[in-house]
Structure 1
Amino acid sequence: QGAVSAQGRRASYREMRGAPLQFVLCSFVATFLPLQASSENAVLVLDEKNFVSAVRAHPLLLVKFHAPWCGHCKQLAPEYEKAATALQGRVQLAKVDATTEVALAEQYKIEGYPTLYFFKNGQPEEYGGGRSNASIVSWVEEHSGPALVELSTEAALASKLPERQTLPYFVAKGGKPLKDVFAKLADERRTTGSFFFVDGQDADVVQVHRGFNEVIELHGPETTDPEKVLHFLEREMIPPFGEINEDNFAGYLARATEGMLWVCFNPESFREDARKHKGVFQQIAASFKQFPVVYTDTKVYDEHVKEELGCTDFPTVVLQIGNFTDEEAETDPKRYKLLLPATEITEDAISAWIQSVLAGQVPEDDGLDELDEEDEEGEEEEEALLCAEA
């Protein structure tokens, strides 16, 4: 995960992602500069002069790098302020105008907006949560505590698992050697999911809980080999066909080196429809491994579905072709749409359509969304000002 260019941001960031959403300047004077929040909210306004003192003064600090012209930043602003109020007294939220604080933006390699970092005792961690008030609060609270949650019983584990639906759960059961391996992995990979350890089991086992209540297991001596456990977690954490949202968008994005296949079901029944047709799309995923195959909440992400994917009728399959992870890409991924029949959704029909797309036999569905146009206008205005100043 990492910040992306303006071009990559159009296809990548949307309302699903709180910009991945990735520190420290040394200044003797800055230590003594006052830190003040805006009178209208609980968000600190930081600049090059008070950035260091903010990191030192607040053991838990979330910093948003933004641009005034950025449409996605404007959408995030009220949610960010609500989260700051909800977390007041526990975690401090702050913001930096990356267009004026150029040195800070360069130091933290800010290339896409908004980009957020979480500082825990001065150490930066990439923010990997969503853009809603609830998502920000949930992510920050989770990452403020220990990375590995230790439990004593299976019942205690069962009570934890229903709390989240889309990010994977990583579970280890066994003795101290496995616990030590898992604790280290949890510290290093905590942004990818939730880590649990259940003590006192007869045999070591590592589990990945994902997707449609799937549980994938690793047994035997490999469970105490850190590299093999990590490989297992990374390989199995993304289901072949799964729900995508603001919490796990970054994980899917990292795999979308050639594109992504979206399935947009009826907003009123999208989860039931996804479960009903999961076999078809799991087979599609197996046949076209270059494309992550996903579905989403078409009501919650109505704007993304309509503007980014171009879906107004359901069910529809959207294939985006292009490297989502390429920061130097000068063009957006290409988009192709297939309106599906309401009843019979078959692997053969969808596979044949994808093959036709790849063969260049299907016309591209083109168009920019409003936020992209707003961002482009802002970038043009900023460039014009820079030229005028020069």
Structure 2
Amino acid sequence: MNEIEAPTEASDTQAVRDLQAAYAEVQREMAGVIVGLDEVIAQTFVTLICRGHCILEGVPGLAKTKLISTLASLLELNFKRIQFTPDLMPGDITGSDVLEEDRTTGNRVFRFIQGPLFGNVILADEINRTPPKTQSALLEAMEERQLTVGGKTYPLPDPFFVLATQNPIEQEGTYPMPEAQLDRFMMKITLGYPTAEEEIEIMKRATTQYRFETKPVMTAETIFKLQKLVRRVPVADHVYEFTSNLIRSTRPNEAGASTYTKNMISWGAGPRASIFLLLAAKARAILLGRFHATEDDVRQMAHGILRHRIMPTFNAEAEGLTTDDIITTLLETPPPVPSAAENLKNTFFRKA
């Protein structure tokens, strides 16, 4: 991939072309290792260049670990896998101070031993299998991009990208993450079963001497520049309004909320969802070779951003509706929601 120049209109246009070409190479390399999962790969890459973190949810055996480790190798990033278990303690992932004897002085000193969180791409395998205390240690690292151990602060490598996996079955003995903690993840990406053709190709590769050697496509320095590029993608006012109205339409207590929202959603998405959805729309736009985000970009990224930020009501569950079903309905018929300006006027300038 060509180096991305200083931010100017011409260099931004060239940077978009460079990113599109590099991402096409990523797709080709991934296809040599992973069968299918094109949309999952795209959403994971979007999360990376938005400096976010994501959850991958799917039953065992869908190549979640292979997908993440392969992507890390293509980007020349350090990959660490942490298998979360009920007995895993915070120090097991953050690292800890170890008492050692200094051979030159004979004094005993503490030396910090880094844990597996000190990597670029962290696979938190089955995050809901570990106690809340250990989950919180991971979430602190995600939010602050640094760790505090023994009163000392240690910066984490940059880029720092956490992909947590969850198994939607076998919930016995798990520690489900609270909604407030799930909100820290930019996206929740679901993996389905492969098609018949894809499953045949998987069997052919797994039961023969098939091998595919990948080669790096991007460096960490390039990723930094791409993350800055996403922030510079322009967005029209009507796209801001569309994004805001979509997020606000998920809130049953919002002024003007529709009957559908009140009946089907007990708790909706917060402002962090608006920020993440707009960033994801920008990233999708440049992956498709455009230097502007549209309402369609917002629509296409809505499910990944919102599915873990909406809590269905008992009525929705009784009707067999999932959060994806609810999001699809809101996208097809967005309820009329008052603008932020109208709400502000009603709040501060209401007549006595």
Greater strand percent: which structure? 1
Normalising by structure 1, we get a TM-score of: 0.24
Higher helix share: 2
Please, what TM-score do these two structures have when normalized by structure 2? 0.25
Q: Which has the higher contact order (CA 8 A, sep 6+)?
A: 2
